[in-house]
Chains A and B, each alone.
Chain A
Amino acid sequence: MSIAVIDCGSSNLRSALKAVQKFDPGAFITIDKAALLGATGIVLPGVGAFDAAMKFIREKGLEDTILQLIAVKRPFLGICLGMQILFEESEEGAVRGLGVIKGKVKKFKFSGFMNNLKIPHMGWNRIMIKQPANPLFTGIEEGTMFYFVHSYYGVPEDPAVVAATTDYGVNFVSSVWQDNLFATQFHPEKSGENGLKVVGNFVKICQSKVRS
Chain B
Amino acid sequence: MLAKRVIPCLDVKEGRVVKGTKFLDLKDAGDPVEQALFYDKEGADELCFLDITASHENRYIMINVVKRVAEKIYIPFTVGGGIGDPEHIREILSAGADKVSINTAAVKDPNLVQVSAQRFGSQCIVVAIDAKRVFDKSGKPLRRWEVFTHGGRTPTGIDVVEWAKKVEKLGAGEILLTSMDRDGTQDGYDLELTSDVAKSVSIPVIASGGAGSKEHLYEGLTTGRADAALLASLLHYRTLTIREIKDYLVNKGVVVRR
Contacts and interface: CB of A to CB of B under 8 A. Distances in A.
Interface of A: 11-12, 14-15, 18-19, 47-49, 117-126, 145, 147, 149, 167-168, 189-193, 195-196
B74 A19 contact: yes
Nearest to A81: B121
Interface in B186-216: 202-204
B172 to A, nearest CB: 12
Contacts of A190: 74-76, 98
B2 interface: yes
15 contacts: A14-B70, A15-B70, A15-B74, A18-B74, A117-B2, A118-B203, A120-B173, A122-B173, A123-B204, A123-B228, A124-B5, A124-B257, A147-B75, A149-B123, A191-B74
Given A48-B121, A190-B98, A125 B3 contact: yes
Main secondary structure of the interface of B (DSSP, over half): loop
Contacts of B60: none
Given A123-B2, A124-B257, A168-B2, A191 B75 contact: yes
Given A11-B120, A124-B45, A118 B204 contact: yes
A118 B227 contact: yes
A124 B2 contact: yes
Main secondary structure of the interface of A (DSSP, over half): mixed
A80 to B, nearest CB: 10
A192 B75 contact: yes
B: contact size bracket: 20 to 34
A184 to B, nearest CB: 14
Interface in B100-121: 120-121
B40 interface: yes
A196 B120 CA distance: 25
Interface string B156-186: 0000000000000000011000000000000
Contacts of A121: 2
Given A15-B96, A47-B121, A123-B5, A118 B202 contact: yes
Nearest to A14: B96
A197 B225 CA distance: 33
Given A149-B123, A167-B1, A122 B174 contact: yes
Contacts of B76: 147, 190
Given A124-B45, A191-B75, 5 more contacts: A15-B70, A118-B203, A120-B122, A126-B1, A145-B257
Contact of A192 (B2, B40, B203): B40
B58 interface: no
A189 B98 CA distance: 11
Interface in B207-256: 227-228
Contacts of B120: 11
A152 to B, nearest CB: 12
B52 interface: no
A142 B124 CA distance: 29
A38 B228 CA distance: 44
Contacts of A125: 1-3
B71 interface: yes
B250 to A, nearest CB: 13
Q: Which of A19, A48, A149, A189 has the largest number of chain B CB atoms within 10 A? A: A149
